[in-house]
Amino acid sequence: MPAREGFSLSTDQIRQAALDLDFARIERLEMEQLSRRYPGLNLNDAYAIQDEGVNLRLAQKEKIIGLKMGLTSASKMKQMGVNSPIYGMLLDTMQVPDQGIFSLERGRGIHPWIEPEIGFFIAQDLRGKISMDTALAACSGVYAALEIVDSRYSDFKFSLPDVIADNCSSCAFVLGPWAKIDGQKTIKKMPLTLFVNGEAVETGSSDDIFGNPARALAELCAMLDSRGLYLKKGSMVLAGAATRAVPIEPGSRVEVFVQGLGRASVLISA
Ligand code: OOG
Ligand code: MG
């Protein structure tokens, strides 16, 4: 069958890749990077695999509640060895309540890591190439947030198309209490700290996220626009981790504190 324009994989291969990634997630088994199986794997293939994987979960009655940006900070790009922002989907089943429990036993997590983030609630549709101010004006709230990422690939190693196909390592997330947005100053240069069992393990600033987390939001709109998509009213958005991610262990309590914004925390159970 001739390849579709812009894709190196057939629709059958895209579906099989999505099924394999979903199996790895559900069974908590690492798998080989897709780019080893398909050396020509490109970004169109990768987002198509991501879409197909999300569709598999929608068929299981899970719901899309927002999007996440990833690899928007220098610390994360360096840690993962991938230098380009990516986006993935957040599903209702991924949300853990603030101060709630993330249980490794309930079929979640192969080798999960946790990272400090800033989240937004989008109150109006956002489309196309927009400024940071336009992006912020469409948000009604902002949150201190934690994201638990868990690559389905062996040793948490991947290329850019691999990680996109894997819904950007999405696993779980926690939003702290909602805070009102009051223009740029609400989210600018806020120092933040990631604590594990009360000990500060990573420190950074909100501006480590793409220069400003609102810029990550505007970039997300531009990336969606290039695929004919837009950010829908009522979505949650995670702007990307400000610092490196750290592995999580059962029995630990992880908290992010964002100065001027608030906290979010989670207990990790076996
Ligand atoms: C990919 C997802 C990156 C972030 O906030 O940078 C991400 C990964 O690190 O596994 O969520
Ligand atoms: Mg993240």
Number of domains comprising the chain: 1
Q: What is the DSSP letter of 160?
A: H
Within-domain flag for 32: no
Q: Does residue 30 belong to any structural domain of this protein?
A: no
Query: Is 41 part of any domain?
Result: no
- Ligand 1 mean position, distance from CA 150 (Å): 9
Average pLDDT over residues 182-203: 92
Q: Which residue has the tokens 């902002």?
A: 142
Ligand in nearest proximity to the CA of 173: 2
* Domain assignment of residue 255, given as a range: 63-269
Q: Give 1 Cα–ligand 2 centroid separation in angstroms.
A: 37
pLDDT in tens, 74-112: 999 999 999 999 999 999 999 999 999 999 876 578 999
DSSP state of 218: H
The residue that leads in pLDDT, 185 or 73, is 73
Residue with the nearest Cα to atom 11 of ligand 1?
70
Tell me, yes or no, whether 90 lies in a domain: yes
CB of 163 within 6 A of ligand 1: the answer is yes
Both tokens of residue 197? Answer: 């069992």
Does the beta carbon of 151 lie inside 6 Å of ligand 1?
A: yes
pLDDT value of residue 134: 95
Q: How far is ligand 1, taken at its centre, from the CA of residue 60, in Å? A: 25
pLDDT score at 3: 72
Whether pLDDT at 186 is above 80:
no
Confidence class for position 229, pLDDT limits 50, 70, 90: very high
Pocket lining: 152 vs ligand 1, CB cutoff 6 Å:
no
| Ligand 1 within 6 A of CB of 243 | no
Q: Is residue 2 part of a domain?
A: no
- 238: β partners: 68, 119
Q: Is 66 in the pocket of ligand 1 (CB under 6 A)?
A: no
Q: How far is CA 142 from the centre of its chain?
A: 16
The identity of residue 159, as a single letter, is S
Pair 231, 237: CB distance under 8 Å:
yes
pLDDT value, residue 185: 74
CB of 198 closer than 8 Å to CB of 204: no
Residue 17 lies in a domain: no
Residue 27 lies inside a defined structural domain of this protein: no
**In angstroms, what is the span from residue 2 Cα to ligand 2's centroid?**
37
Is the Cβ atom of 204 under 6 angstroms away from ligand 1? no
CATH number of the structural domain spanning residue 99: 3.90.850.10
Strands 113-122 and 100-103: unpaired
Decide if 220 is inside a domain: yes
- What pLDDT digit, counting tens, does each position of 14-53 carry? 999 999 999 999 999 999 999 999 999 999 999 999 999 9
Provide DSSP, 92-157: GGGB--TTEEEESTTT--SS-EEEEEEEEEE-S-B-SS--HHHHHHTEEEEEEEEEEE--SBGGG-
Q: Is the pTM of this model over 0.85?
A: yes
Cβ–ligand 1 distance for 80 under 6 Å, the answer yes
Average pLDDT, the chain: 96
Q: Which residue has the higher pLDDT, 3 or 63?
A: 63
